[in-house]
Amino acid sequence: MSEQSNENTTAQEGTVDQNNNESKALEENAVPYTNETDSGAVQPAESSGSMSSLGLVLAMVLAFGAFFSGVEFGKGSTVTGQEASIFSLLKSEPTETFASTRPEMDEFWEIWDLMEEKFAGTDDTDVRTRLEGAIDGLVDSYDDPYTVYLPPAEAKSFNQNISGNFSGVGMEVGMRNNLVTVVSPLPDTPAEKAGVMAGDVIVSINGSSTEDMWIDEAVSLIRGEQGSVVNLEMYREGEMDFLTIPITRDKIEIPTVKTEEIGDTFILAIYSFNGIVEEEVRSALKEYIESEAETLVIDLRGNPGGYLGSAVSIASYFLPAGKVVMEERFGDSLENEVLRSRGNQLQIFTPENLVVLVDGGSASASEILAGALKDHGVATIMGAQTFGKGSVQELVKLDDGSSLKVTVARWYTPNGVSISKEGLTPDIFISRTPTQRLAGEDPQKDAAVRFLSGEEVVSETFEDEVKNTEAESEVEAE
């Protein structure tokens, strides 16, 4: 059986029914496999806006470890039969499709025999453990932090974590430079209240080092019983020492959208692309039209992603019918897929009347929406570099109980920018320091409003960033 998910992973709370396809497809770049996701990254399945599914959708969105992007079923290969066992991976006959790429295994077995003959250490490993180690090394050689081999015990633990009840801390984590990194703390959650910030690198979890730790394992350690405490040791850019942040786990409830008006500018903040976001954004845009505001800001900062279909639907309010929103590129065995605007264009938007705010916590579906509006020239992107999370994983369950989570597709903007590789670079770079964030100061939003009022706003330079960092250090020193 195979399931697809996004590379996000969230440490949130919720209930996921393993017998329900929709719940399996939820988390965001998170841990259960869903179409983008919050705990892992899988392409989210299409969501329905019906109230009957609201409870299920909310449970999925709040699931700590479920991918915010969701999982898409029915795509990719399905592994069945004894040929899917771990042992058959080394001895089965190659399929016609991949026969030409399979190397001879003579050297492998030669090394195997030499180890059996000559190794002088304590040999307390069985044959299965050695084979699992060999397969793990093969998978690791692809150098993709989201492609992971799970031996039976780890696969069982992973599946148990997807189902059942659990509480979290309210943040999404992903892999950056092979480090477990906070994509974004979600608003009004224990993580945000404890001071966790986007870009923080998790060094250890309750004393366990995250070095060489795969993302799903990190998420499983962060979650726990409601009311219990998890201690996270963090590296934060600009800090001389690691930070130790204790967080009390709790049930996670987050808003979907929030609106406000500043002068003639209407601001629409989207916090996640969950199952109800399309309906809420539609209502918010109606509010925008009725407000008679002349300009619009879409705030995607700290939005870790969600359902791919929701991102496409929302992009359709700003793009003519048929315009490319994103391209999903698969391996050589599958045809690439292009997703286009559905043609619900609200009005003619330009970079002079529409600003999209992004930062290091904007990921996955957020990057798809921002990238589409940027590439088609209908918005000015402002803020900081986005996280860079845009790949789809497929979870293949093998007959012996082990599983393979493998990246099967990557997301690209209409102009061919790889979201996973590069993220999105804003048109106008404006920073926001941790001190400003804690003080409630928002120079990024202020710059967007000034820009839309006709004031010239220029990108900060590297020297400006250095000055901000130095000023931050001086404040802390005092």
Tokens 């050695």 correspond to 130
Count the neighbouring beta carbons within 10 Å of the beta carbon of residue 353.
17
Let me know if residue 353 belongs to a domain: yes
Of 167, 310, 364, 366, the active-site residue reads: 364
Beta-strand pair 39-41/171-176? unpaired
Among the options 24, 323, 389, 397, which is catalytic?
389
Domain membership flag for residue 352: yes
Structural domain range at position 268: 257-390+411-452
What is the structure's pLDDT at 467? 60
Of the residues 2, 220, 375, 405, only one is catalytic, namely: 375
User: 374 near 424, Cβ under 8 Å?
Assistant: yes
DSSP 27-89: -----S--BS-SEEEBPPPP----GGGHHHHHHHHH-TTS-SSB---S-S----SGGGSTTHH
CA distances 400 to 33, 152, 390, 394, Å, are 20, 7, 30, 18
Lowest mean pLDDT among 116-125, 184-193, 316-325, 377-386: 116-125
Decide the pairing of beta strands 324-330 and 257-262.
unpaired
Alpha helices in 181-294 (DSSP H): 190-193, 215-222, 277-291
What is the reported pLDDT for 228?
94
How large a percentage of the chain has pLDDT more than 90?
49
How high is the pLDDT of residue 122?
72
340 within some domain: yes
- Domain annotation covers residue 327: yes
Is residue 123 part of the annotated active site? The answer reads no
């003619």: which residue's tokens?
Answer: 348
Tell me whether residue 364 is one of the annotated catalytic residues.
yes
Question: Has residue 351 been placed in a domain?
Answer: yes
Q: Higher-confidence residue: 445 or 252?
A: 445
Answer yes or no: are the C-beta atoms of 406 and 393 closer than 8 Å: yes
Could you read off the pLDDT of 79-91 as tens digits, one per residue? 333 223 333 334 4
> Does residue 65 fall inside a structural domain?
no
CATH of the domain at 427: 3.90.226.10
pLDDT tens digits, one per residue of 255-274: 799 999 999 999 999 998 98
Predicted confidence at residue 210, as pLDDT, reads: 95
pLDDT of residue 452: 98
Report yes or no on 368 lying in a domain.
yes
Q: How many CB atoms lie within 10 A of CB 389?
A: 33
Q: pLDDT tens digit string along 163-207?
A: 444 578 998 888 888 899 998 898 889 999 999 998 899 999 999
Bridge partners for 124 per DSSP: none
pLDDT given for residue 440 in this prediction: 85
Q: Is there a catalytic annotation at residue 100?
A: no
The distance from CA 193 to its chain's CA centroid, rounded to whole angstroms, is: 21
110 located within any domain: no
Instruction: Output the pLDDT for position 224.
Output: 87
Burial of 143 (0-12, 13-18, 19+ CB in 10 A): exposed
Least confident residue range of 134-143, 164-173, 285-294, 452-461: 164-173
Q: How many domains does the chain have?
A: 1
Taking a C-beta distance cutoff of 8 angstroms, is the pair 72, 25 a contact?
yes
Which one has a higher pLDDT value, 41 or 159?
Answer: 159
Q: pLDDT of 276-315, one tens digit each?
A: 999 999 999 999 999 999 999 999 999 988 888 999 999 9
